Copies of this chain bind each other. A is one copy, B any other.
Amino acid sequence: MNIEKRLLEGDKRACARMITMLENNDEEAIEIIKKLYKHTGGAYVIGITGPPGSGKSTLTDRLTKELRKMDKKVGIIAIDPTSPFTGGAILGDRIRMNDLALDKDVFIRSMGTRGSLGGMSKATWGAIKVLDIYGCDYILVETVGVGQSEVDIVKTADTVLMVMVPNLGDDIQALKAGIMEIADVFAINKSDLDGADRTKVEIEMNLDLNSKEDYRPPVVKVSAGKNKNIDKLLDELIKHRNYLEETNELLVRRKENTKIEILKLVEEELMDLIMHKSLEKNVLENLSEEVVHKNLDPYSAKDKVLNIIKE
């Protein structure tokens, strides 16, 4: 049986194979997704983000277990930040999820970025579609950090969960600014630590200043490590889903998200082309040699590369 049919019938190995193909930038995988695209849209995508050390992985783990109690089929994509030089993915605490990995209705995958210039978004969005076609009810996309590519992925989820922790220090301001506006639900993890209430107040105050029209993001104190209030957090996530569905906002949001995705795909394809063209005949090497010796400025070098691409 071919991989298309197997994926449609919920074959886990076909699903894994498809994602590997996407990671290898195999055009056949894209062709398959194009063909099966009308089978997407059934899965509900939750993006989970937050600063380093906030315990996103453990929380994702716990949420998955709650969803399993409701007999939902769950896909997890953990986007690992990787070295800009080696491009290798970090497995890290993903290993902890082994007990979930044995569950036939849970699919877990760590995905790395692909060096500094593009490729990541295409593979990750592709993987989300594969899990959707595969038949997941929920797809949890988890990522650390506030990086732009990661933010682009997370903010195109249907619901965005922002995980905070007490005592983030001064940079909570920066984090808030970068991410707070895209959050639909806040979790304060490790909420048995001192300062949890202060963090909650800070978030609430920020929400007072920047409130959305009909929907106010709830702030839930949880402890993923101690499995506390996870059910309550899931309730809030589902409430947000219901809100989007009832107000027809879900379609509006998915349309906006699609715009971001199309633009990112265009960007990545162009960057591939640029990398390819610039490496040909040492173009980039020669230009940077000239710039570093002040025979050329970087802006004129940029124009030369653009001219080569236009050919």
Contact = CB atoms under 8 A, between A and B. Distances in A.
A16 interface: no
A168 to B, nearest CB: 5
B262 A173 contact: no
Interface in A50-92: 51-55, 57, 80-86, 88, 90, 92
Contact of A267 (B145, B174, B262, B274): B274
Q: How many copies does the complex hold?
A: 2
A226 interface: no
B171 A52 contact: yes
Nearest to A277: B266
B170 A266 contact: no
A82 B292 CA distance: 31
B52 A172 contact: yes
A275 interface: yes
A178 B80 CA distance: 9
A177 B83 contact: yes
A161 to B, nearest CB: 17
Interface residues of A, number: 87
A291 B262 contact: yes
Interface stretch (A2-10, A229-237, A282-290): A282-290
Contacts of A275: 263
B83 A178 contact: yes
Interface stretch (A99-107, A197-205, A238-246, A299-307): A299-307
* Highest count of chain B CB atoms <10 Å: which of A88, A146, A256, A300: A146
Contacts of A168: 52-53
Given A116-B151, A116-B152, A81 B170 contact: no
